[in-house]
Amino acid sequence: MSRTAADPYEKCAVETALDLIDGKWKGVILFHLMGGTLRFNEIRRRAPGATQRVLTKQLRELEADGLILRTVYAEVPPRVEYRLSPLGESLSPIIEALKAWGTAYQESGAEARRAA
Amino acid sequence: MSRTAADPYEKCAVETALDLIDGKWKGVILFHLMGGTLRFNEIRRRAPGATQRVLTKQLRELEADGLILRTVYAEVPPRVEYRLSPLGESLSPIIEALKAWGTAYQESGAEARRAA
DNA sequence: CAGGATCCGTTAAGATACTG
DNA sequence: CAGTATCTTAACGGATCCTG
């Protein structure tokens, strides 16, 4: 954050935000948590293709970043619930916007062009 | 895109969108191009820390994804201008939202907590 | 059930040098 | 000016096996 140029501050904000949702499954996780609290295996089911290791890691990162809350119930069998923190919820409009934009992009056939 | 579950479609849209702006400097590039057409070295100046190689690569990816347009002027010295495509411009609201959110995140002191 | 520990392959990204 | 060509490193993501 040197602030040598005119507006490096603004630039960093975009970077900061993107860094937080950077990770192959973070967007997906956040999106599904927007629907309410989920347990580990429930998230896993909604993110087929992601392994436990990766999922766990990204959940921990999201937690460390303060975007989600992790609640462990000391019972047996173990139960761990994940839900959006207030900060995470404040991302909802953006996730929704991304979803809408992604949908439009897909339907525009731009994906096909990309593959080509 | 198996569509086996209830709504894998929606999930993929979020993923699709994030994939397009995934890359350490893509968000920064797009943000600065929102201010108007820029030449290669102008972008470089606005993304200190990014090397030519990385910058070139990400610019090419953005171009391949149809988010930016690259215009080469056959003159000497060479001049190459980058600007947002209509599709790229449609991302502006999202980039702005990310910037606003990132700023709020930074000011909330959440970054400090993250480092700790 | 919800992970932790390990090993491994791929890719992103950085450093550096050179060119039309 | 705007790249390309190599090389190296670090991080990410995946697969598998094990445990409180």
- CATH number of the CATH domain containing B81: 1.10.10.10
Q: Does B113 map to a domain?
A: no
pLDDT digits (tens, 9 = 90+) for B78-102: 999 999 999 999 999 999 999 999 9
For the segment A26-60, what is each residue's pLDDT rounded down to a tens digit? Answer: 999 999 999 999 999 999 999 888 999 999 999 99
How many angstroms is C1' of C5 away from CA of A54?
Answer: 14
Q: What is the pLDDT of residues B10-28, one digit of tens each?
A: 557 888 899 899 888 999 9
Judged by a CB distance cut-off of 8 A, whether residue B10 touches chain A is yes
The answer to whether residue B116 is domain-embedded is: no
| Separation between the CA of A3 and the C1’ of C1 (whole angstroms) | 48
Predicted pLDDT of residue B90: 95
- In sequence order, the 6+-apart residues with CB closer than 8 A to the CB of A72 are A78, A79, A80
d(CA B12, CA B18): 10
Token output for A29: 């996780």
Q: What angle do CA B45, B48, B53 make, to 5 degrees?
A: 90
Residue with tokens 């599904």: A32
Residues above pLDDT 70, as percent of chain B: 84
Q: What local confidence, expressed as pLDDT, does residue B114 receive? A: 56
Nearest C-alpha of chain B: how many angstroms from A101?
7
Domain ranges, residue B85: 13-106
B111 lies in some domain:
no
Distance, in angstroms, between A47 CA and closest chain B CA?
Answer: 9
Asked if strand D comes closer than 7 Å to A28 Cβ, the answer is no
Q: Does some domain include residue A112? A: no
Instruction: Report how many domains make up chain A.
Output: 1
Neighbours of B41 (CB within 10 A): 11
